[in-house]
Structure 1
Amino acid sequence: MTLAKDARGTEDPYVPSERRLERERYKRARARRATAVAALSTLVTGVVLYLVVVNAPGWQRTRETFFDWGYAREAFPKVLEGLWLNVRLLLVCGAAVLVLGMLVAVARTLRGPVFLPLRVLAAAYTDFFRGLPLIITLMIVVLGVPALRLQGVTVDPVLLGGTALTLTYSAYVAEVFRAGIESVHPSQRAAARSLGLTGRQALRHVVLPQAVRRQVPPLLNDLVSLQKDTGLVSIGGAVDAVRAADIIVGRSLNYTPYIVAGLVFVALTIPMTRLTDWVTARTERRRAQGGAT
């Protein structure tokens, strides 16, 4: 607590001025007013949307087809069981994407004429798979590889679908890593070399740690997208959350299971999205304060 001396030389507790107290009261009143306005506008918007939807001519039929509580209870355990496959794909493919993306990014940033073929191959890889729609990549891998009838090559749609996801997302992640590597000033590498580090050691101990730290928010965004796209492996017959819902829809001709699967994916994605927002805000605060990135 701040202390101030009075005329007799004794220390008294600090007493804020009336002007400061008035300013703090004004800030609190403004915050309360802003909160009330936000709550009221949200309530009004929700009521308007509710009235528009429930008064639509086809609402009754839509509710029976998409929001049937009985089909939701039937679908939920099966969708949740299928979701475990999506989670496993996210974990395995996410790790593979980070490793492969890093290797491709490093290959694209290698210096010297001897590495030209490697740089060209890495650039061709990223250009091809970033330009090819993911759904087409999945169809080519999941349907095309078994058609080749190669000995010793798996025909499991889960493994083939995971391979397609890894190929596509590695191209995007490679560009994220490459942007991070190129954002590190060349003087960092030169300083490392002047201290006796080799080019490989400078890349490993100086450049890559800074590059990865700077690119954490976009990497988390790519993982959020990967989590959603794991549902596309269902096109090959893998029974994930989407396929589990599709089986029930095909039997009942009621689309409520799709809503259940969608809500389950949203519930899984929201924590990752909030984590991404928190990491991004933390990074921006550190940059604003002049800290290390």
Structure 2
Amino acid sequence: MPPAAVAGDGYVPSARRLEREAFKRRRTRRATAVAALSTLVTAAVLYLVVVNSPGWERTRETFFDPAYARKALPEVLEGLWLNLRLLAVCGACVLVLGMLLAVARTLRGPAFFPLRALATAYTDFFRGLPLIINLLIVVFGVPALRLQGVTTDPVVLGGVALTLTYSAYVAEVFRAGIESVHPSQRAAARSLGLSHRKTLRYVVLPQAVRRVVPPLLNDLVSLQKDTGLVSIAGAVDAVYAAQIIASRDFNYTPYIVAGLIFVALTIPMTRFTDWVTARMDRRRAQGGTV
């Protein structure tokens, strides 16, 4: 196969390469067409199965009533503002507390054993405790203590419960990232005269955080959905706003509206997580910095 000709500064691909690229484009178009056709067929079959079921009319009136959807949308969106604020505040607190717990668990030396033990106990306890039970304990148990200067606001207490639970999960993510950094990185940093604290700050943590970005984003997606659980304390978020409307008219369309709004928020975050994961995988495959 003779090398491709070069005219001036422009590269002229060979006929074989042009043929190969044309084949790839045809294969991509064919695969896209097949995927689109199969998706349409599947959607049509599911639609026919649902609408022809015996209880479809009653289900449509109870769960998919456009009039109730229009009625519920403004109040659900107003409650959603609380969920977004909880996500922003709790997400920041979770990242900070999770990082501190992870660092505490990776400290070396017998002098730090009590700190490691406390961090380990905290992580094991809140990872094992169901979130709903944690919310009930914090939201209803803390006000029962009647402590001076401690808030009884259900929104604040619900945010505290979310932070306590999710920081335990995020701490394990950070710890996995820290321990994935090769020991030679620490040894090289210490040989250059860096202290243990500076080694952790300037060498280990930057690499660890980059490696755990995808699972961290997944935890934030889960946190975004679980902010709706603060409704059990009486906080009027999107879920509780839907519940109020549904209890007035015994129509559950507001729940569908609230669910679709959460899905609409979650999908962009999920796709962004997938993009970050794919980008990091490509950089790792090419030998770039991870």
With normalisation by structure 2, the TM-score equals 0.95
The answer to whether the 8 Å contact 1:76/1:260 transfers is yes
CA drift of 1:290 comes to 0.4
Structure 2 residue 4 is the aligned partner of structure 1 residue 16: no
> Is the counterpart of residue 206 in structure 1 residue 181 in structure 2?
no
1:286 aligns with 2:279: no
Match of 1:145 in 2: 142
Output the amino acid matched with 2:94: V
Instruction: Indicate whether 1:231 and 2:228 are aligned.
Output: yes
Secondary structure of the corresponding residue to residue 123 of structure 1: helix
Q: Compare CA radii of gyration and give the structure with the larger one.
A: 1
Question: What CA RMSD, in Å, does the superposition of the two structures yield over aligned residues?
Answer: 1.7
Out of 245, 264, 274, the residue aligned to residue 248 of structure 1 is: 245
What secondary structure, in the 3-state scheme, does the structure 2 residue paired with 1:284 have? Answer: helix
Could you say which residue in structure 2 is the equivalent of 1:188? 185
Deviation of 1:14 (Å): 3.6
Which aligned segments of 4 or more residues in structure 1 are displaced greater than 6 angstroms? Answer: 10-13
| In 2: Cα distance, 1:49 partner to 1:199 partner | 59
> Residue 31 of structure 2: which of 23, 30, 34 is its match?
34
CA distance in 1 between partners of 2:20 and 2:196 (Å): 58
1:79 matched to which residue of 2? Answer: 76
Q: Determine the C-alpha separation between the residues in 2 that align with 1:267 and 1:14.
A: 46
| C-alpha deviation, 1:46, in angstroms | 0.7
Given the superposition, is the C-alpha separation of residues 180 and 20 from structure 1 closer, same or farther in structure 2, using an over 3 Å criterion?
Answer: closer
Q: Evaluate the alpha carbon distance shift between residue 110 and residue 4 of structure 1 in structure 2; reply closer, same or farther with a 3 A threshold.
A: closer
| Kept in 2: contact 1:93–1:165 (CA 8 A) | yes
1:206/1:78 CA distance change after superposition, 3 Å: same
After superposition, what is the alpha-carbon deviation per residue over 1:131-162, rounded to whole angstroms, capped at 9, x for unaligned?
A: 00000000000011111111111000000000
Structure 1 residues 13 and 233, CA gap change in structure 2 (3 angstroms): closer
Question: 1:21 Cα shift?
Answer: 4.2
The residue that corresponds to 2:154 in the other structure is 157
Per-residue deviation, 1:16: 3.2
| Superposition TM-score, scaled by structure 1 size | 0.94
Aligned partner of 1:221 in structure 2 is 218
Which of 47, 56, 59 aligns to 1:59? It is 56
- Percent identity between matched residues is 80
Q: Shift of residue 275 of structure 1? A: 0.9
- Please state how far the C-alpha of 1:20 moved relative to its aligned partner: 4.2
Name stretches of at least 5 consecutive residues in structure 1 with no aligned partner: none
Give the Cα–Cα distance (whole angstroms) in 2 for the partners of residues 48 and 182 of structure 1. Answer: 49
Equivalent-residue separation in structure 2 for 1:15 and 1:105 (angstroms):
53
Structure 2 unpaired stretches of 5+: none
